[in-house]
Amino acid sequence: MTLDLFADASDDPKEESASSLQARAENLRKLLHHHGHCYYTLDAPEVPDAVYDRLFQALQKIEQDHPEQRRSDSPTQRVGGAVLPAFESVRHAVPMLSIRTETDTESSGAKAFDARVRRELNLPEDAPALEYVAELKFDGLAMSLRYEQGILVQAATRGDGENGEDVTHNIRTVGQIPLQLPPGVPDVLEVRGEVYMRRDHFNQLNERQSAKIEQGAKGEKTFVNPRNAAAGAVRQLDSSIAAQRPLSFFAYGLGEAQPANAQQALFKTHYDMLQTLKSWGFPVASQTACVLGLEGLVDFHQKIAAQRDCLPFDIDGVVYKVNSLALQAQLGFVTREPRWAVAHKYPAQEALTTVLAIDVQVGRTGKLTPVAKLTPVFVGGVTVTNATLHNEDEARRKDVRVGDTVIVRRAGDVIPEVVSVLLDKRQPQAAIFTMPRICPVCASVAERDEGEVDFRCSGGLFCSAQRKQAVLHFAQRRAVEIEGLGDKLVDQLVDAGLVKTLPDLYQMSLSALSQLDRMAEKSALNLLKALETSKSTTLARFVFGLGIRHVGEATAKEFARHFGTLDALMQASQARLLEVSDVGPVVAHSVRTFFDQAHNLEVVEQLRACGVHWPEGPPAARVAQILSGMSIVLTGTLPTLEREQAKEMLEAAGAKVVGSVSKKTSYVVAGEQAGSKLEKAQALGLPVLDEAGLLRLLSGDVT
């Protein structure tokens, strides 16, 4: 497609000439038809939803401001999609129309919907709050299931809203969809919902596909996202292939029901209808809620936003519906959309941008990471300018090149990454990316050990990039903690040649520090004081601060408990290291390798000579620990305990305190302003404790 993908949709169409306006409207229509065809018919979208929405809203605005530009074949006048010729056409007795999309991702989006509904109902300002049903906006394929006398007789896709495709043979393979309903259901019942694929099932499917490709199977491919995989499974002509694809289903509405008054006789509200569908055997998302007024809508939107990244399936927003079916009928429809419902989106997790350059960053352990420098784009709630390509193999697999138009993804706190490349927009001269075989910072050889995917700089502390990261790691709060020693100051110290190894930190003079940019004498004195304070530490903090590969904070504490002294740890054989709790061959080999290097031993001895010290003693006695094997997350502010106090108490009882919530988490301890970690714990059904519960847990009263 050679049309301008980034056609300007922000200018005010009222200020354009008639010919320019007509040309832009026609261009937008062609773009929307093209991308609608790719999304609905080919199941191969070329652009993220946010780009399509932007183009759609631009055309809507032109047609609203200039009715003479409105055409019957405009994408704004119908639901996108078409029937594939390979499938039998099905005419929907009740059209499967789409609902309005609210792209204002803030609470004001919910406010606009509530105000619009109240205005349409002519409600006075002091009228009671309306009741709504709040649902998830699934990223799957809309489906209509037709039951006659309680038996599934037909399943049809949305198609163009009026006509869909008969995919009954494939939908029968979806285990969550009942083939027969209990007695008492209407003679004819059309259940509307979404066919989707769970993220874990999607990953497993792609793993199987990759294995087939590696074995030389022809015609196989991996899928870009769960939505594409689900749509591809539904549109298989061979149902045996569809049966191998792990599909799921959620119900969220009804189409036709006979006798004609069946819905009115059975339900008074949309929520009652959903609960009845659930009792008939249809899956209904557990997050669906009945909420009151604007406050309820905003609370639901924020709650689901916090849970979004840990849901087992993809969503791109939530849906609000007026709960009363009588009020729904009163509100009715406007053109292609019901007045009583809206889809309230979240910030797009995917966006389109271009690759300006591919840089290679050097980490603390020498790892070389290719990073795509991007034209700034707003995605996942922030402006993104960089996206990781992870390693050379991944960059080659995705074939990312400078100048490419790419889809970039950012979900929650995940580091932005490039999802895929739009190959049809690639410039002919774009060169394949190759990882440099020398370090871009120090020119040392970059090597890749057998069995590893990462190249690493062999320069060690000779490499200024590794040196800076090593100093920052050593100085952080969880290590020896040198207050005031941040990124910019470390850059100056290393670049000026004042710090080449860790012991150099303790040998800097006041006069040398005072000569640095923006370093007054008082600031220099404060840094020297912080350095002096940092000399008194603990064995665990010191070991962690050395930056031994694979040795995290918890492992450093285990080493300190097990050996008691640094000398005992440095002299321990690999076999003795393996005796430490939770230490495996990789960690043991890394520790042994570190202390076998003469320059590392010299750094340790020089740090000791500079006065860095810690209490030492015999190894801690091995006692049964009440929380051994448990994984616990701390979040929020506790009433009396500081975070570090609580952490130390838990670790002393044998628990591991981790930073993120997962299915493996044993407990989440939550205080005030707990935030998203608490929301994730609740979404996963994990036990949550307050400070009192934490103390009971430590005393053995909670199991």
Residues designated as active site: 137
**CA of residue 335 relative to chain centroid, distance:** 35
- Structural tokens at position 46: 């070329």
Ramachandran class of 547: left when φ > 0, alpha when ψ lies in -120 to 50, beta otherwise:
left
**Angle, vertex CA 673, rays to CA 672 and CA 679, nearest 5:** 110
Give 139-195 as a DSSP string.
SSEEEEEEEETTEEEEEEE-TTSSEEEB-HHHHTT-TTS-SBPPTTS-SEEEEEEEE
Nearest to 139 by CA among 417, 323, 349: 349
DSSP class of residue 41? I
For 625-671, give the secondary structure using H, E and C.
CCCCCCEEEEECECCCCCHHHHHHHHHHCCCEEECCCCCCCCEEEEC
Say which residues have a Cβ less than 8 Å from residue 654's Cβ, sequence separation at least 6. Answer: 625, 626, 627, 628, 629, 630
CA distance 582 to 558: 8
Nearest to 294 by CA among 114, 125, 108, 132: 114
Say if residue 259 is preceded by a cis peptide, omega within 30 of 0: yes
CA count, 13 A, side-chain hemisphere, 324: 11
**CA of residue 671 relative to chain centroid, distance:** 25
DSSP three-state, residue 495? helix
CA distance 152 to 171: 10
- Side chain identity, residue 435: M
CA distance 236 to 326: 40
Long-range CB pairs of 236-242 (<8 Å, 24+ gap) are 236/170, 237/86, 239/169, 239/170, 239/172, 239/173, 242/169, 242/170, 242/173
- Structural tokens at position 241: 């292939």
- Which residues is 141 bridged to in the sheet? 195
Residue 431: count of CB within 10 angstroms of its CB: 10
